[in-house]
Amino acid sequence: MNKNRRKVLLIYTGGTIGMVFDEKLKTLVPVNFDKLNSYISYIDQMPIDIRHISFENPIDSSNILPKHWVKLVDIIEKHYIEYDGFLILHGTDTMAYTASALSFLLENLNKPVILTGSQLPLDMIRTDGRDNLIAALEIASAYKDDLPIVPEVAIYFENKLFRGNRTSKFNAENFDAFYSGNYPVLAQVGVHIKYYTEYINKPTNKPLKVYKKLDNSVGLIKIYPGMPIKILEDILYDKDLKLVILETFGTGNAPTYDEFLKPIKKAIEDKKVILNITQCKAGKVELGRYATSLSLENLGVISGADMTVESAITKSMFVLGNFTDKNQIIRLLQTSLRGEMTDNE
């Protein structure tokens, strides 16, 4: 590799962006990344040394599991010193989950870890994959004064760079597929790339610390009018679950009638942690603002503030996997660890 060029490791997990149509098989097959320039002819003109690693068996992102997040951490840890940045090609459906999980598993991250994908395969004429891949490579290799411009886990899609653990997929049809309702974009791509450095994590001199434990004993309940109480009870009383996330209305509101509150009260008495996040794509939980959330607060339900559901789930798995003291778990869940939430006040 040329010492004067930035080095980026491209990691293909699976997903549309790494697929092309095979005329003989009449189906989509993974790209041969050794011949990436046959699909993007000008990629060789970029001042970047690109190497690639692919999952041995690329997977649809709907099949992503915590073990795959740990596998990505293993790859990044193994090659962290050698490369200036990392670009993960990933299916869009669970990209926000993977980005959120990686942000927690990679502490003191001091290099860009950028995720991107596409809505159309790379060899289609109108594919969004080419532009996403080129811009994401440029961002993953972007340094100023020998310091990384984006030393965090981020998602690049359709001209915007988002903090990974603040992002959700909200559109399955348009190229503009991702949304960050509670945090500004980190960069905007047009004629130039405009970085909003005031919103980007600052480089740190601390050594990278990786975590490889996740505990998926996390339940999720989306509250809706008229929901059968049995649904609430089945999840809250499940002995294999240590933590349950409630997706509530508005600023953390939920029904206040006894039949609804009783199983929540019992679950908390049984030492379960109950985390409250809002169903809204923007805004935050404010326990006690209305009487309909005060009841939950009085029972011991804790606020997830403005975390996305993807971030709340992966953060819960991370915290449960690496900490055992319940008071510490509750404190960490309510504290911003990687910029994933606005701290509760």
Q: Cα torsion at 229, 233, 235, 236 (round to 10°)?
A: 120
Which phi and psi angles does 173 have, rounded to 5°?
A: -110, -40
Confidence class of residue 175 from pLDDT cuts 50, 70 and 90?
Answer: confident
Q: pLDDT tens across 63-97, in order?
A: 999 999 999 999 999 999 999 999 999 999 999 99
Is residue 255 scored above 50 in pLDDT? yes
- Average pLDDT of the chain to the nearest whole number: 93
Residue 14 and residue 61 in contact, taking contact as beta carbons nearer than 8 Å? yes
Q: What is the CATH topology of the domain spanning 218-333?
A: Rossmann fold (3.40.50)
Q: Quick check: helix, strand or coil at residue 344? A: coil
Q: pLDDT tens across 261-273, in order?
A: 999 999 999 999 9
Confidence (pLDDT) at 39: 74
To the query of whether residue 308 is one of the catalytic residues in this protein, the response is no
Confidence class of residue 207 from pLDDT cuts 50, 70 and 90?
Answer: very high
Q: CATH assignment of 6-210, given 3.40.50.1170, 3.30.110.30, 3.40.50.1110, 3.40.50.720?
A: 3.40.50.1170
Q: Report in angstroms the alpha-carbon separations of 36 from 40, 59, 265, 327.
A: 6, 19, 56, 50
DSSP for 245-270 reads: EEEEBTTTB---SHHHHHHHHHHHHT
* Domain residue ranges of the chain, discontinuous segments joined by +: 6-210, 218-333
Q: Cα torsion at 312, 317, 322, 326 (round to 10°)?
A: 70
Percent of the chain at pLDDT > 90 equals 79
Confidence class of residue 124 from pLDDT cuts 50, 70 and 90?
Answer: confident
Is residue 277 scored above 80 in pLDDT? yes
16, 92, 167, 314: which one is catalytic? 16
Q: What distance in Å separates the CA atoms of residue 163 and residue 178, rounded to the nearest whole number? A: 11
Q: What distance in Å separates the CA atoms of residue 194 and residue 265, rounded to the nearest whole number? A: 49
Confidence class of residue 1 from pLDDT cuts 50, 70 and 90?
Answer: very low
Confidence class of residue 344 from pLDDT cuts 50, 70 and 90?
Answer: low
Confidence (pLDDT) at 3: 56
Q: Does the global pTM surpass 0.85?
A: yes
Residue 317 and residue 342 in contact, taking contact as beta carbons nearer than 8 Å? no
Confidence (pLDDT) at 2: 52
